[in-house]
Each structure stands twice: as structure tokens, then as C-alpha cells.
Amino acid sequence: MTTAPNAEQRARWNGPSGTAWTEYAEHFERGYADYDAAYLAAVDARAEDLVLDVGSGPGALALRIATTARRVVGVDVSAPLVDLARRRAQAAGRDNAIFVAADAQVDPPDEGPFDVVVSHFGSMFFDDSVAAFTSLCRALRPGGRLVLLTWQGPERNPWQVEVLRALHPDQEAPIPPTDGPSPFGLSDAARVRSVLGAAGFVDVELEDLRAPHWSGADPDDAVRFTVTHNAAVLDGYDEAARRRALDRLRALFEAHHTRDGVLFDSATWLVRARRP
Ligand SMILES: C[S@@+](CC[C@H](N)C(=O)[O-])C[C@H]1O[C@@H](n2cnc3c(N)ncnc32)[C@H](O)[C@@H]1O
């Protein structure tokens, strides 16, 4: 039996991750907010631009792009996140932003050609990245631009890795892979260049961005947030193991508590490319 593309990610984003992101959208958004200005400047959406946002999630960045673009189409595989983005668009009166539930790898929206394809942490989860970016390149007009924000590797993103280590004190932490669907799936610069080149893009440039990652207002907030969206891990522990994991989490967040909240180092790639 063959499995449909992205079956695991579809299940995840329509299941536990979709629920966590719907419930905690603002927390996630505040976490990476220090990258917003650089990302939006690179997108540089103009009044004539039709923009495709891949993996648009709760839609906050798509809605900000829609304040200057002609029209923004968000595509996301997660039905609950598409619903949330639509509700937010309606509440903001942004009728030039629409959100479509579809898999961008196999079924990108066909209302292009698009002037700009963007993705804010939404393009690292494809089973077949070359196939996905080939479709996205074809969705652009000739000369159209691609702008991506992706995480660099685990060693530069302790906000994620140290939390995983704290959650798994008695075994090796399951750090997401850098060569498959995962938050770190486009963290390797050589892989980004090779995938985008094979998909038909030219002028691929990666800019190294660093910013603090906000993980909560204080250690209590950070623990609450982490526990909620890692419930499956903690529910698998007996009482003693659960207590050890929670103690390590609290100690970690205490060590990163500042006047501006719980802050960790983080690093991203701002990727720019072009369809020839
Ligand atoms: C880390 S979230 C980022 C969401 C949003 N762009 C943001 O930054 O707030 C990743 C998003 O990519 C979406 N996604 C994953 N695989 C996808 C695919 N094959 N097609 C479309 N969306 C996908 C997920 O459903 C999720 O909403």
C-alpha cells in the first residue's frame, strides 16, 4: 500500500499540533516576533502583488502582508488553522486575504501566477521538498520572488532543543531531523541551495538572522505552555518521571528568566530566490 504524501504531517497538523497552535497562536507568534520586521521587509509586498503564503497557519503574517499587497492567498494543510486564519481575516476586515485548506506540495492554489511566494516557518515539513518547491516555482510568474523564513539547526536553537532535553531526562531527546519533514528540515544551507536549485529557482541567497526567542512571560507561563503542547510525552511517564521532567523544565526556564520574559538564543535563515 502506498501512503499519500505528507500523511504524517497532515495528521499532526490536523491533530495535536493543530490544536496547540489554535489554542496558543498568540504565544507562538510572540515567540518568534523579533523576526517579523526582517521577514516583512524581505517580502516587501507592493500594491500590485498577488502573494501565496505557504503553511500560513493562524494567518497573522499573511494578514500583515495583506495590508500592503493586492491579495494574499494562504494555503495550509491544517483545517483548524485555516478556520482560525479565516476568523482573524474577517475580524480584521481583510477581504483581500483568503485561506485555503490544501497540501502545498501536491495541490497548491491555482489562482496564480503569483508575484511572490512566501513562507514563514511553513515550508520545512514536506515529504518531498524538491517536488513541493517545483510546484511552487511553477506557481510563480517568470521573475517572481520566493521568500522563506526557516529555522537554522538544532545547535543554534536551544529554545527548542533544551526544552526537549528537559522533557526527556532519562533518555536521548528526540531532536527533529535536519534532512526530513521537521522544524529543522531546511536548516542546512547546502540542502536549501540544492533543493531550491533542483526545483528551478535561481539567485538563491541565505541571510543569517539571530534573535531572542520568547518562551513565556515568566517560568510559570513557559512551563504551562510547554506542558500543554507536550501532553503526550508527559502522559507517558509515571509520577516520578513526570516530576523529574517538570523540575528540569522549571530549572531551565528559571535560568533563562529575564526582565523581558523567558528568553533563549535562536537562529533562522531568511531565504530569497527567484523564478528565472
Ligand atoms: C510552524 S507552523 C507556521 C505557521 C505560520 N506560518 C506562522 O509562522 O505562524 C507550520 C505550518 O505549516 C503547515 N504545513 C505543514 N505541511 C504543509 C503542507 N504540506 N502544505 C501546507 N501547509 C503545511 C502546518 O499546518 C502549519 O500551519
Cα separation of 186 and 179, whole Å? 7
Question: Rounded to 5 degrees, what are φ and ψ at 65?
Answer: -65, -35
Question: Tell me, what CATH number does 102's domain have?
Answer: 3.40.50.150
Is 256 part of any domain? no
What pLDDT is recorded for position 49?
A: 98
Contact 105 CB / ligand 1 (< 6 Å): yes
Contact 9 CB / ligand 1 (< 6 Å): yes
Is 142 part of any domain? yes
Q: Count CB atoms within 10 A of the CB of residue 179.
A: 12
Contact 160 CB / ligand 1 (< 6 Å): no
Number of domains in the chain: 1
CA of 170 to the centre of ligand 1 (A): 31
Handedness of CA 178, 182, 184, 189 (dihedral sign): positive
Q: Considering only residues 201 and 179, tell me which one the structure prediction assigns the higher pLDDT.
A: 201
Is 249 part of any domain? no
Q: How far, in whole angstroms, is CA 246 from its chain's centroid? A: 26
Q: What is the DSSP pairing of strand 97-101 with strand 71-76?
A: parallel
- Looking at the chain, how many residues does it have? 276
CA of 238 to the centre of ligand 1 (A): 33
Cα separation of 161 and 264, whole Å? 11
pLDDT interval class at 137 (50, 70, 90): very high
Is 225 part of any domain? no
Contact 104 CB / ligand 1 (< 6 Å): yes
Nearest atom, ligand 1, residue 62 CA: 6
- The one-letter amino acid at 194: S
- Give the percent of the chain with pLDDT over 70: 99
Residue 173 pLDDT greater than 90, yes or no: no
Residue 234 pLDDT greater than 90, yes or no: no
- Write out the residue range of the structural domain in which residue 106 sits: 7-157+172-214+264-274
Tell me which residue of 138, 89, 132 sits closest to 112, measured CA to CA: 138
CA of 123 to the centre of ligand 1 (A): 7
Question: Rounded to 5 degrees, what are φ and ψ at 44?
Answer: 45, 55
Contact 58 CB / ligand 1 (< 6 Å): yes
All three cell numbers of 35, joined, read: 523576526
Task: Provide mean pLDDT across the span 185-205.
Answer: 98
Is 259 part of any domain? no
Match 531565504 to its residue by C-alpha cell: 271
DSSP H/E element including 251: helix 239-255
Contact 121 CB / ligand 1 (< 6 Å): yes
Residue 1 pLDDT greater than 60, yes or no: no
What pLDDT is recorded for position 4?
A: 84
Alpha carbon dihedral 109, 111, 112, 114, in 10-degree steps, equals -70
What pLDDT is recorded for position 207?
A: 98
Cα separation of 159 and 149, whole Å? 17
Residue 95 pLDDT greater than 90, yes or no: yes
CB-CB contact of 6 with 104 (8 Å): no
Nearest atom, ligand 1, residue 13 CA: 25
What pLDDT is recorded for position 268?
A: 98
Handedness of CA 16, 18, 21, 23 (dihedral sign): negative
Average pLDDT, rounded, for the chain? 95
